[in-house]
Structure 1
Amino acid sequence: MFKKKCIAIAIGYMALFGIFVLMKLNLDIKAIFVSYTTRIVPKDLMPQMPGTTIGFVQELNNRRRKTIKEFCAGSEVPALNETITRWSNMEVNSRPRIFYSDSMKLIVCDTPRCGTNRWRNLMLIMDGHLPGYEAGPDDNFGMSKKNNFVWSKFNPKTESQTNDFGDKLHNYYKIMITREPLQRLVSAYREKLETNANGFYSGISKKIHSAVNPDSPSGLATFEEFIDYILSTKRRIELDPHWKPFSELCDPCNINYDYIAKTETLHDDSQVITGNIGISRDRIHNSTEYGRLQDGKSELYRKYYLVLDIKKRDAIFKYYKDQYDMFGYDYPDFISTGEFSKLG
């Protein structure tokens, strides 16, 4: 009897010890998860996780919009019609790259290499310019420029059209999409300049190569030549849209965008946006496509920059640094840790 009692007591202690171990393990797992989400993965770039709520995503957008307002606080925002008049005195390619849909009451700033093709395509379909199918990228842009591009439809030098455009800017739901700035450069280079796949841009690639290295044989631009070409361009507004900074494409200091989406979180962002404009997310979002952005792209894009010397890496980062600050991206880890070690 005594022996059985001792065994029972031992089993009880073992059970208590087991519960303690499980509780400790659970706490450790939670600690690891908290550490992961707060230190390793920037909160603003977290991919969708089970349990992500609409409220959490909306709060991210509020933080992004607040960051832009704080960045732009140094300059007083003029009246909307004054801004439109200022745009009218600029070359069309220097004005905000705005597409709109009357049927959806939606405005999208087109930021190439960030996933805006699908939005332009949806506008064409919803406004009756496409019979329910997807156009290829070239057809998409050509048709969108004809039917949905603001500057193809409005003459901002006339008062009535300025007022009409101002009403749309004030009342339509406005979105823009960003992407990690230097990663976007690699995407643009690989897609447009690295090969002869695109006839128009392969011509630009050869011109960049000749301009940077005039004494070398003709050929396509290397990535380093591409970077040198960008660094030699003093007025960023003159850059091609595929590598022009977001602030030059969308003028977010003068357009109060309702939603600032990011390519890295578009799975969640699109759910909120489509809910706000009253369409199904299936009309715009391909989770597989955007999921691929998380698979190996970060390491791939770093390899392009690591072939550059540290001074050139710092220089190209400094060229786009305001985009990191304005849109809340962490600085890349391949720049010098001296001058750029602190955020902000």
Structure 2
Amino acid sequence: MQPSEMVMNPKQVFLSVLIFGVAGLLLFMYLQVWIEEQHTGRVEKKREQKATSVTREQIRGHITNQNLKFHITEDPKGKKENLLLNSERPMRVLTKTSHSQGEDRVLGKTTGPPTIKLIAKHQGTRTVFKKFSEMKWPLDIHPLNKSLIKDNKWKETDVAQEKRRSFLQESCKKYGGVSRPQSHLFHMVSRIYVEDKHKILYCEVPKAGCSNWKRILMVLSGLASSAYNISHDAVHYGKHLKKLDSFDLKGIYTRLNTYTKAVFVRDPMERLVSAFRDKFEHPNSYYHPVFGKAIIKKYRPNACEEALNNGSGVKFKEFVHYLLDSHRPVGMDIHWEKVSKLCYPCLINYDFVGKFETLEEDANYFLQLIGAPKELKFPNFKDRHSSDERTNAQVVRQYLKDLTRAERQLIYDFYDLDYLIFNYTTPFL
């Protein structure tokens, strides 16, 4: 090709410039639109974040105000009183629990924006809390319904029962010193078992016949045909029975005021020795490593390596030192906790007070009162270690031999309210 042929004429030059110009213009316009979109998107995002932040802050502020208004009140002296309930657990009242027994929700269905729904929920919760905090404490004691008692053989038992109820009520007024709950409500009722069919509330006191009482509750609720066919593990680990703290506030409130409330107690010293024998004188995969090791480590000088490693062989005196120590190396346990802290008898006012010392008679009378099947009788067998002698006054004296008089007195002092309100004497001093 000759050089002269490579030269573009004016027409070709004009077309080339025009094409490049149009392409450049289109590119510029596209870039301008893209930049504006990016800028607008960032602005809108900032606005949304700001709006969301404001909304969340408003909601948080509203919740905080609601909680403060409900959970803290001013008494006449200007001091802040911590009410019965805190802000976490009672939120369960907003939904049905697994044991709500078809009860209606405390709060109805709410329509409207999320903030309005949240406000409505808190207002409904406050209404329930207010109702419960205004509940009369101690609870009223109800007269027992004796219409089903046709046999005169229960006369003496009935007289003894009325005396116990009256004594408990008067003693609580004199020694209890509690007019309002000092503990969280759900903790107060955490040891109470529920049997809805016969409308029973039974407060569990370990080492006072509680295993056989749970068997009875399982039969009454239709979970078993006989109390004699239920194993120890099924009773304690099967989770077949409902507890009062598994219900919502409405369920707890209703049952406390309408069901027959029963508690069975035992001489505190006998109960303590019975618990020690059961948990520390037999192999136990929980109490030895958890309690035994800690007790031996703190209260046994020059303990051998084996005892420190497995926690077996705790002596009763060491166990007592642990019990009386205000700085225990491991916490309390329900098997030796005070009944006054397990069942709160000076606040809940039990309708029936049974005693381990007359367990069969009291239990069978109670079954008559609630209309249990006539063939159902309270079982009298020993739940575990059946070959061991039952813990009685004579057995207790053998264990107390190693304690000083001062140590025995301190045990009585520890359980003083239980001794006073349930009318137990102190024969072991």
- Could you state the TM-score of these two structures normalised by the residue count of structure 2? 0.56
CA distance in 1 between partners of 2:286 and 2:280 (Å): 10
Q: Which residue of 1 aligns with 2:278?
A: 191
- Taking structure 1 as reference, are residues 52 and 321 closer, same or farther at Cα in structure 2, changes over 3 Å only? farther
Counterpart residue type for residue 184 of structure 2: R
Secondary structure of 1:104's match?
coil
- Residue among 312, 317, 320 paired with 2:407: 312
Alignment of 1:330 onto 2:425: yes
Q: Which residue of 2 aligns with 1:178?
A: 265
Alignment of 1:202 onto 2:297: no
Residue 166 of structure 1 and its aligned partner are, at CA, apart by 1.1
Counterpart residue type for residue 173 of structure 1: T
- Taking structure 1 as reference, are residues 315 and 252 closer, same or farther at Cα in structure 2, changes over 3 Å only? same
Counterpart residue type for residue 67 of structure 1: F
CA distance in 1 between partners of 2:234 and 2:276 (Å): 21
Residue 311 of structure 1 and its aligned partner are, at CA, apart by 1.3
Write out per-residue CA displacement over residues 71-94 of structure 1, whole angstroms, 9 at most, x where no aligned residue: 22154644xxxx598324xxx4x7
Q: Which residue of 2 aligns with 1:245?
A: 338
- Taking structure 1 as reference, are residues 262 and 177 closer, same or farther at Cα in structure 2, changes over 3 Å only? same
CA distance in 1 between partners of 2:365 and 2:425 (Å): 24
CA distance in 1 between partners of 2:182 and 2:411 (Å): 31
Q: Which residue of 2 aligns with 1:66?
A: 166
- Taking structure 1 as reference, are residues 84 and 308 closer, same or farther at Cα in structure 2, changes over 3 Å only? closer
Residue 208 of structure 1 and its aligned partner are, at CA, apart by 1.9
Trace 1:1-344 onto structure 2 (pairs within 5 A): 53-74=153-174, 75=177, 77-78=179-180, 83=181, 86-88=184-186, 92=187, 96-130=190-224, 132=226, 134-144=229-239, 147-151=241-245, 153-154=246-247, 161-196=248-283, 198-203=284-289, 204-213=291-300, 215-217=302-304, 218=307, 219-233=312-326, 239-280=332-373, 283-287=376-380, 297-332=392-427, 334-335=428-429
CA distance in 2 between partners of 1:251 and 1:221 (Å): 30
**Percent of residue pairs bearing the same amino acid type:** 26
Q: Do the aligned residues in 2 keep the contact of 1:209 with 1:221 (CA within 8 Å)?
A: yes
Q: Which has the higher helix share?
A: 1
Counterpart residue type for residue 97 of structure 1: R
Write out per-residue CA displacement over residues 104-159 of structure 1, whole angstroms, 9 at most, x where no aligned residue: 21110000111011221222233244465633223212234x541222x22xxxxx
Q: Do the aligned residues in 2 keep the contact of 1:68 with 1:327 (CA within 8 Å)?
A: yes
Residue 299 of structure 1 and its aligned partner are, at CA, apart by 0.8
Secondary structure of 2:286's match?
helix
Residue 59 of structure 1 and its aligned partner are, at CA, apart by 1.6
Q: Do the aligned residues in 1 keep the contact of 2:220 with 2:372 (CA within 8 Å)?
A: no
Structure 1 regions of 5+ residues with no counterpart? 1-50, 155-160, 336-344
CA distance in 2 between partners of 1:84 and 1:171 (Å): 23
Q: Which residue of 1 aligns with 2:7?
A: none
Secondary structure of 1:260's match?
strand
- Taking structure 1 as reference, are residues 312 and 281 closer, same or farther at Cα in structure 2, changes over 3 Å only? farther
Q: Which residue of 1 aligns with 2:113?
A: none
Secondary structure of 1:266's match?
helix
CA distance in 2 between partners of 1:95 and 1:215 (Å): 43
Write out per-residue CA displacement over residues 258-288 of structure 1, whole angstroms, 9 at most, x where no aligned residue: 1100010112212320111112465342357
Q: Do the aligned residues in 1 keep the contact of 2:262 with 2:351 (CA within 8 Å)?
A: yes
Q: Do the aligned residues in 1 keep the contact of 2:190 with 2:244 (CA within 8 Å)?
A: no
Secondary structure of 2:238's match?
helix
Residue 170 of structure 1 and its aligned partner are, at CA, apart by 1.1
Counterpart residue type for residue 324 of structure 1: Y
Counterpart residue type for residue 55 of structure 1: K
Counterpart residue type for residue 323 of structure 1: D
Q: Larger Cα Rg: Structure 1 or Structure 2? A: 2
CA distance in 2 between partners of 1:211 and 1:284 (Å): 46
Structure 2 regions of 5+ residues with no counterpart? 1-150
Root mean square deviation of aligned Cα: 3.0
Count of paired positions: 264
- Taking structure 1 as reference, are residues 296 and 318 closer, same or farther at Cα in structure 2, changes over 3 Å only? closer
- Taking structure 1 as reference, are residues 282 and 242 closer, same or farther at Cα in structure 2, changes over 3 Å only? farther
CA distance in 2 between partners of 1:164 and 1:107 (Å): 12
Secondary structure of 1:168's match?
helix
Residue 247 of structure 1 and its aligned partner are, at CA, apart by 0.7
Residue 192 of structure 1 and its aligned partner are, at CA, apart by 0.8
- Could you state the TM-score of these two structures normalised by the residue count of structure 1? 0.69
